[in-house]
Amino acid sequence: MTKTASTGPLDDLQRAERTDPDRVLLRWRGGSWTVRRFAAVARAVAAELSASGLGPGDRVAIMSGNSARTLAVTYGVWLAGAVEVAVNTELRGPLLHHVLTDADPALVLASADLLPTARTERPDLAFRAIEDLDLDRQDAVPSGPLPAPADLASLLYTSGTTGPSKGVMIPHGYLAHYAGVLGDVLELTGDDVCYFSLPFFHVDAHIAVPTALRCGSTLAFAERFSVSRFWDDVEHFSATWFGAVGSMLSALATRPAPGPAVLERLRLVLAAPIPEDAYEFFEDGLGVPLLQMYGQTEANGPIYSTLTSRRRGAMGLAHEDFEVRAAAADGSTCPTGEVGALQTRPRREHVLAQGYWRRPEATDQTFDGTWFVTGDLAWQDADGFWWYAGRATDSLRKRGENVSAFEVEAVLRTAPDVREAAIVAVRDELGGEDDIKAVLVADPGFDPATFAAHCRDHLPRFARPRYLELVEPDQLVRGPGTGAIQKHLLPQGLTSTTVDLDAVGAQ
């Protein structure tokens, strides 16, 4: 089924409604929706949006937690011909203001609990509570052709490295392509149930739903990841697989192993990155295969592991729809075994993002017309497996979120008694990702507890520094060309003068 050509998620929904409307598509604690119900709600949302004057090309921002309603509203936005703007529900302050200003949405649909936060940043925009939408509205949605694969579906904001977050332009064909790839890589059938506990505003959920539609499988979800409830949920939903980031796997590895009812059904886990303690817990201890992959919002899966082709610790093999290479500084391709800049090139249309919203220069730098520049480093072994070797750009990754150093540092500089700020990564042993250390030049009256409170009030949880290091002004060495702080010369790791902000104020 996954090999069937599709123009996008709406095409997948239309086919599923025609062929198997009464199968369960979505499940959550306390409820479920069939394909028929999901499609009806999406049409009701589209009718309401169309009646309010929204139409093709308009951006509709969605700021809402994981729910069936959130997913159906996204499809309703697409049915109305509009473009979804997925807003991270943890954003606040300057970071949220930037997204709502940059996307310039005609309407912001936010859950009732987040509506005041969003309205505070851009009170001039049009707002509605997502709970106020009439899910049973019967107005006919104006008929028309399905979106073409090249038509813009979503703006998904991803953290920049030398500037503010950028809106990645995702076409409808991109989502259909990766739904097919995921179904094939994981060998999904109508008997499969995915347990999904990642945030819906990420690209993963945008692919998980059409994957379930195309494969005839079920998507079971939680409002958020909970290590204490995780295995109970997996058993409750009879899940056969789930997706995760490395920190989730490490957290699960600290808990008791699931019972036989879970292991009888659970046949694989798809994750990135995969730390060694996860291999020891899942593969060595439970006998559950871990499949690693590599992807970004701009190009979600050029490299995958499969059940038949995988190597412990490696990201996987290049997918047939992509060329992958490690590039040397002079632009040539690195030989086998040598670390270089990871670049990918699609072999077919609409499998790559279209660039960055209203940022032609950034688009030209990353999508250079030949190779997509990922900003990461990697190397390939003699058998073709790709291995991750770190980042070449000034961003960090914490709990599955990309963190823009530029944006966080701008907020830190507004804290009381802070004169200059930089952030560096500190290895997080729970998942092999990054904790954040703020390196500050501060005035004599600086108070760590006040600084922690400022971070709490102005930064999402995933972007808040865990550690603090005070330095003298002459320890901030700037490059002669750009004036950028040379971060490799800053105090790295945890030192005797490092302050743990968790100890001075709850983060």
210 membership: H or E segment, kind and range: helix 203-215
DSSP structural state of residue 68: H
What tokens does 399 get?
Answer: 């709990």
Rounded-to-integer distance, Cα 414 and Cα 426, Å: 23
* In the predicted structure, residue 58 carries a pLDDT above the cut 50: yes
Closest-CA residue to 147 (of 197, 82, 198): 82
What tokens does 128 get?
Answer: 């509605």
Instruction: Check: CB of residue 176 under 8 Å from CB of residue 149.
Output: yes
Residue 456, amino acid: R
Sign of the torsion formed by the C-alpha atoms of 272, 320, 365 and 61: negative
pLDDT digits (tens, 9 = 90+) for 360-410: 998 998 887 789 998 888 999 999 999 998 777 767 777 778 788 888 998
Check residue 213 and give its pLDDT.
98
Closest-CA residue to 70 (of 112, 126, 120): 112
CB neighbours (10 Å) of residue 387? 18
Give percent of the chain above pLDDT 70.
Answer: 94
Phi/psi zone of residue 337: left (φ > 0), alpha (ψ -120 to 50 degrees), beta?
left
pLDDT digits (tens, 9 = 90+) for 304-322: 999 999 999 999 999 999 9
Sign of the torsion formed by the C-alpha atoms of 223, 225, 229 and 235: positive
pLDDT digits (tens, 9 = 90+) for 252-303: 999 999 999 999 999 999 999 898 899 999 999 999 999 999 988 999 889 9
3-state secondary structure of 269: strand
pLDDT digits (tens, 9 = 90+) for 426-459: 877 666 667 899 999 999 999 999 999 999 999 9
Mean pLDDT, rounded, for 167-180: 96
On average, the pLDDT of the chain sits at 92
Rounded-to-integer distance, Cα 41 and Cα 456, Å: 37
Mean pLDDT, rounded, for 78-86: 97
Rounded-to-integer distance, Cα 5 and Cα 300, Å: 19
What tokens does 494 get?
Answer: 């945890």
Rounded-to-integer distance, Cα 465 and Cα 98, Å: 20
Mean pLDDT, rounded, for 343-355: 93
3-state secondary structure of 418: strand
Check residue 261 and give its pLDDT.
96
* In the predicted structure, residue 2 carries a pLDDT above the cut 50: no
Check residue 143 and give its pLDDT.
57
pLDDT digits (tens, 9 = 90+) for 402-422: 788 888 998 999 999 999 999
Check residue 64 and give its pLDDT.
98
**Local confidence band at 480 (pLDDT 50, 70, 90 cut-offs):** low
3-class SS string, 432-496? CEEEEEEEEEECCCCCHHHHHHHHHHHCCHHHCCCEEEECCHHHCCECCCCCCECHHHCCCCCCC
Higher pLDDT, 245 or 197: 197
| DSSP code string of 80-108 | TT-EEEE--TT--HHHHHHHHHHH--SEE
Domains of the chain: 9-228+298-378 (3.40.50.12780), 229-288 (no CATH), 395-503 (3.30.300.30)
Helices (H), strands (E): how many in the chain?
14, 25
Closest-CA residue to 448 (of 489, 412, 411, 404): 412
Residue 161, amino acid: T
3-state secondary structure of 390: strand
Instruction: Check: CB of residue 129 under 8 Å from CB of residue 57.
Output: no
3-state secondary structure of 391: strand
Bridge partners, residue 378, by sequence: 340, 388
Higher pLDDT, 158 or 79: 79
* Calculated CA dihedral for residues 306, 307, 308, 309, nearest 10 degrees: 40
